[in-house]
Amino acid sequence: MPDPLALVPLPQSVVWSDGTWETSAPWEGLSVGLNDALPATEYALSISPTGAALSAGSEAALADGRNTFAQIVTGTNGSIPCVTISDRPKHAWRGMHLDVSRHFLPPAEIETLIDAMALHRLNVLHLHLTDDQGWRIEIKGYPRLTEVGAWREQSLVGHMGEDEESWTFDGVPHGGSYTQEELAGLVEYARRRGIMIVPEVDLPGHMQAAISAYPELGNFPEQQLGVREVWGISDHVLGVSDTVFDFLRDVLTQVADLFPAPYVHIGGDECPRAEWERSPAARSRMNEWGLTRVSEIQGRFTQFAADVLAEKGKRVIAWDEVLESHLPDDTVIMNWRHGNGVKDSTSRGFRTIIANNEHTYFDHYQASPKDEPLAIGGLTTVKDVYTAKFSPHKLSEDQQTLIMGIQGQLWTEYMPTAEQVQYMAFPRMCALAERAWGSPEQSWEEFEERLRAHLPRLDAFGIRYRPLD
Ligand code: ACM
Catalytic site residue 164?
no
Instruction: Tell me: do 422 and 407 sit in the same domain.
Output: yes
> Is the residue at 4 inside a domain?
no
Q: Is the domain of 272 the same as that of 372?
A: yes
pLDDT the model gives residue 340 = 84
The stretch 219-232 carries a mean pLDDT of 98
- Would you state the pLDDT for residue 63? 98
Ligand 1 mean position, distance from CA 269 (Å) = 6
Q: Which atom of ligand 1 is nearest to the CA of 319?
A: 4
Q: What is the pLDDT of residue 392?
A: 75
Average pLDDT over residues 328-332: 97
Q: How far is the CA of 446 from the centre of ligand 1 (A)?
A: 33
Choose one of 102, 234, 319 to mutate for the ligand 1 pocket test, by most ligand atoms within 8 angstroms of C-beta. Answer: 319
Question: Looking at residues 301-310, what average pLDDT do you find?
Answer: 98
Instruction: Using the predicted structure, report yes or no on whether residue 216 has a pLDDT greater than 90.
Output: yes
Whether residue 129 sits in one domain with residue 18: no
How does residue 77 score in pLDDT terms, banded at 50, 70 and 90?
confident
Q: Which atom from ligand 1 is nearest to the alpha carbon of 336?
A: 4
- Region 437-456: mean pLDDT is 98
Average pLDDT for 290-316? 97
| Residue 296 confidence (pLDDT) above 90 | yes
Q: Both 154 and 174 in a single domain?
A: yes
Q: What is the CATH number of the domain that holds 224?
A: 3.20.20.80
Please identify, by atom number, the ligand 1 atom nearest to the C-alpha of residue 355. Answer: 4
Query: What's the pLDDT band for 453 if we cut at 50, 70, 90?
Result: very high
Q: Is the pLDDT of residue 12 over 90?
A: yes
Cα–Cα distance list, 420 to 105, 238, 255, 325 (Å): 11, 32, 28, 37
Write the pLDDT tens digit of every residue in 260-285: 999 999 999 999 999 999 999 999 99
Contact present, 168 and 158 (Cβ < 8 Å): yes
Q: End of a domain among 87, 108, 142?
A: 87
pLDDT at residue 1 greater than cutoff 80: no
The protein residue whose alpha carbon is closest to atom 3 in ligand 1 is: 269
Do residues 61 and 163 both lie within one domain? no
- Residue 220 C-alpha to ligand 1 middle, in angstroms? 25
**Cα separation, 429 vs 176, whole angstroms:** 26
**CATH number of the domain to which 71 belongs:** 3.30.379.10
Q: Which of 270, 322, 334, 354 has the most ligand 1 atoms within 8 A of CB, as the residue to mutate?
A: 270
pLDDT of residue 2: 74
Question: Measuring from each residue's beta carbon to the nearest atom of ligand 1, which residues come in under 6 Å?
Answer: 269-270, 319, 336
Ligand 1 closest atom vs CA 334: 4
Pair (358, 443) in one structural domain: yes
Structure pTM?
A: 0.98
Phi (first) and psi of residue 334, to 5 degrees: -100, 105
pLDDT digit string, tens, across residues 168-177 = 999 999 999 9
Range of the domain at 30: 13-87
Average pLDDT along the chain:
97
Whether 116 and 69 map to the same domain: the answer is: no
Residue of 411, 413, 414 to mutate, ligand 1, most atoms within 8 A of C-beta: 411
- The reply to whether 251 and 229 lie within a common domain is yes
Structure confidence at residue 339 (pLDDT)? 76
Q: How far is the CA of 452 from the centre of ligand 1 (A)?
A: 31
Give a yes or no: residue 465 inside a domain: no
pLDDT of residue 208: 98
Q: Give the Å distance between the CA of 234 and the centre of ligand 1.
A: 13
Torsion sign (Cα): 448, 439, 188, 96 = negative
Which of 87, 115, 135 is a domain's end point? Answer: 87
Check whether 355 has a pLDDT greater than 80: yes
Say what the pLDDT of residue 391 is. 81
Number of separate domains in the chain: 2
Which atom of ligand 1 is nearest the CA belonging to 411?
2
Q: Which tens digit of pLDDT belongs to each residue from 360-396?
A: 999 999 999 999 999 999 999 999 999 999 887 889 9
pLDDT > 70: percent of the chain: 100
Is there a single domain that holds both residue 47 and residue 132? no
Q: Which atom of ligand 1 is nearest to the CA of 270?
A: 3
Nearest CA to ligand 1 atom 2: 336
Nearest residue (CA) to ligand 1, atom 1: 269
For residues 408, 409, 412, 418, the Cα torsion angle rounded to the nearest 10 degrees is 20
Mutational pocket test of ligand 1: of 207, 234, 269, 323, the residue with most ligand atoms within 8 Å of the beta carbon: 269
Q: Do 168 and 75 belong to one domain? A: no
CA–centroid distance, 181 to ligand 1, in Å, is 28
355: CA distance to ligand 1 center in Å?
A: 9
Among the listed residues 109, 270, 358, 372, the single catalytic one is 270
415 and 453 share one domain: yes
Question: What secondary structure, in 3-state letters, does the chain show?
Answer: CCCCCCCCCCCCEEEEEEEEEECCCCCCCEEEEECCCCCCCCEEEEEECCEEEEEECCHHHHHHHHHHHHHHHHCCCCEEEEEEEEECCCCCEEEEEEECCCCCCCHHHHHHHHHHHHHCCCCEEEEECEECCEECECCCCCCHHHHCCCEECCCEECCCCCCHHHCEECCCCEECCECHHHHHHHHHHHHCCCCEEEEEEEECCCCHHHHHHCHHHCCCCCCCCCCCCCCCCCCCCCCCCHHHHHHHHHHHHHHHHHCCCCEEEEECCCCCCHHHHHCHHHHHHHHHHCCCCCCHHHHHHHHHHHHHHHHCCCEEEEEHHHHHCCCCCCCEEEECCCCHHHHHHHHCCCCEEECCCCCCECCEECCCHHHCCCCCEEECCHHHHHHCCCCCCCCCHHHHHCEEEEEEEECCCCCCCHHHHHHHHCCHHHHHHHHHHCCCCCCHHHHHHHHHHHHHHHHHCCCCCCCCC
Query: How many whole angstroms from 336 Cα to the centroid of ligand 1?
Result: 7
**What is the number of the ligand 1 atom nearest to the C-alpha of 361?**
2
Q: Per residue in 412-440, pLDDT tens? A: 999 999 999 999 999 999 999 999 999 99
**The pLDDT value given to residue 237:** 98
In a domain, 350, yes or no: yes
pLDDT surpasses 90 at 465: yes
Asked which of 87, 109, 139 is the last residue of a domain, the reply is 87
